[in-house]
Amino acid sequence: MNQHHIEVKVCAKTFAENIRQIRDRVSPAKICVVMKANAYGHGLKVLAPHAIKAGADYIGICTNPEAATLRNLGLEIKLMRLRMGFPDEFEESLNGLNIEEQVGSIEAAEYLSREGCKRGKKVPVHLNIDTGMGRSGFFSNEVDAIAKVCNLPGLEIVGIMTHFATADSEELDFTRKQIKEFYRLRDTLKNNLPPSVLTHTHNSAATVRLTPHCNSLVRVGAACYGVRTSRNFANFSPLKPVMSVKTKVAQVRNVPPGRTIGYGKLFTTQRQSRIASLPVGFGEGYPRSLFNKGVVLIRGHRCPVVGRVSLNITTVDITDIPEEVTWGDEAVLVGCQGNEEITFEELADRFESVHTEINLMAGFMNQVSYRTS
């Protein structure tokens, strides 16, 4: 049974068009559409076929259930795991999920090589080089270890990659340092790598802000969903948001000055006020930390969130709306209304987080509806 007071819409047509725009921008490089964490909350099962039709060469996932979802749909597209894996995950992948693994340690590489030799079929892997992200992978000075991996008999080296730590920062000096370090290592390893090896460094931020350099593949997530990864830059103009989140006004109250609103008495009315209650809170995925910081669109006006965001109720000040606001009126949490718009990025900036956190929350909001036009 659907919730009657929450509407989360995802436009598959916009998603596909964003991918086509990115393809045109990076051509002739291939594109890996990152769809981990249920496609950033947008719906992996529904959107994956649209990604493929729009020209995705790879889909980036993290978990075996994500891969199984795609294989159960009959999709044979190449899958790339975007984190280090475990032996039990490798076993499932080798038995039918066919995930191209990310390898950043001798232990993982030797394990996969043994499994490949045992099965009589080389395992496709991408070498993960740590040039500054600091989370996983071979350090760029571990040349001998990486060369050893390249020559393990049970592996097929299909890619060599790194991940940028600050491509969404105002300054790109560190990103350029990572690029230089990565390509220096790749050139050193040239005789150990197959001529067809895919080189990939660029995430969404780098793809939007920098040329693909010598990349033969880019890994884009946020940009495909029409969101930017930082306040320091804007996406190129054709990219549009894929998701919107709306609710309804549950009650309007006239509140005298001097009254407190919500848990903790974090807001006190300074004037005769009209306060609208919305039937959405952090239980539905609207961030609790947006108290006294968030904004909602009602009748085309930007209305501030006042007081603590509760489990299932959020209160907003509608005093400055000249029109009458009534029970059941539309309230836009993310999206457009009239001439105004609230983006995931704006909300993330307001409580010092990232758009992905709110995307994921929205994706858990009960019933998501999809449209293709």
Report pLDDT digits (tens) over 17-46: 999 999 999 999 999 999 999 999 899 999
* pLDDT value at residue 276: 98
Give me the pLDDT at residue 235, please.
Answer: 81
Q: Which residue has the higher pLDDT, 350 or 280?
A: 280
Percent residues over pLDDT 70 in the chain: 93
> Does the pLDDT of residue 370 top 80, yes or no?
no
Q: Tell me whether the omega of the peptide bond preceding residue 28 falls within 30 degrees of 0, making it cis.
A: yes
| Token pair 């996406």 in the structure block, residue | 235
Lowest mean pLDDT among 60-69, 131-140, 233-242, 285-294: 233-242
pLDDT at 347: 84
**8 A C-beta contact, residue 53 and residue 32:** no
- Judged against a pLDDT cut of 70, whether residue 54 lies above it is answered with yes
Do residues 327 and 249 make contact, with C-beta atoms less than 8 angstroms apart?
A: yes
**DSSP readout, 41-59?**
TT-HHHHHHHHHHTT-SEE
Give 69: exposed, middle or buried? Use CB within 10 Å, 0-12, 13-18, 19+. Answer: middle
When pLDDT is averaged across residues 63-80 and rounded to a whole number, the result is 97
Assess whether 263 carries a catalytic annotation.
yes
Residue 240 annotated as catalytic: no
Per-residue pLDDT at 186? 96
Position 204 pLDDT exceeds 70: yes
Identify which has the larger pLDDT, 51 or 344: 51
For residue 362, give the nearest of 242, 243, 226, 247 by alpha carbon.
243
Q: How confident is the model at residue 366 (pLDDT cuts 50, 70, 90)?
A: very low
Average the pLDDT over each of 80-84, 259-263, 314-318, 343-347 and give the range with the smallest value: 343-347
Would the pLDDT of 112 be above 80? yes
Per-residue model confidence as pLDDT tens digits over 161-173: 999 999 989 999 9
pTM: 0.90
Catalytic residue among 53, 118, 121, 263: 263
Q: What average pLDDT does this structure show over 328-338?
A: 95
| 265-269, 280-284, 296-300: segment of lowest average pLDDT | 280-284
Q: Is the pLDDT of residue 373 over 60?
A: no
pLDDT greater at residue 113 or residue 357: 113
Task: Check 13, 36, 78, 122 and give the catalytic one.
Answer: 36
pLDDT at 303 over 90: yes
Q: What is the pLDDT of residues 73-98, one digit of tens each?
A: 999 999 999 999 999 999 999 999 99
Please give the mean pLDDT across all residues of the chain: 92
CA dist 235 and 239 (Å) reads 7
> Does residue 1 have a pLDDT over 60?
no
Q: Does pLDDT of 268 surpass 90?
A: yes
- What backbone torsions phi and psi does residue 296 show, to the nearest 5 degrees? -130, 145
The contacts of residue 328 (CB under 8 Å, 6+ apart) are: 248, 249
Q: What is the rounded CA–CA span in Å between residue 218 and residue 229?
A: 16
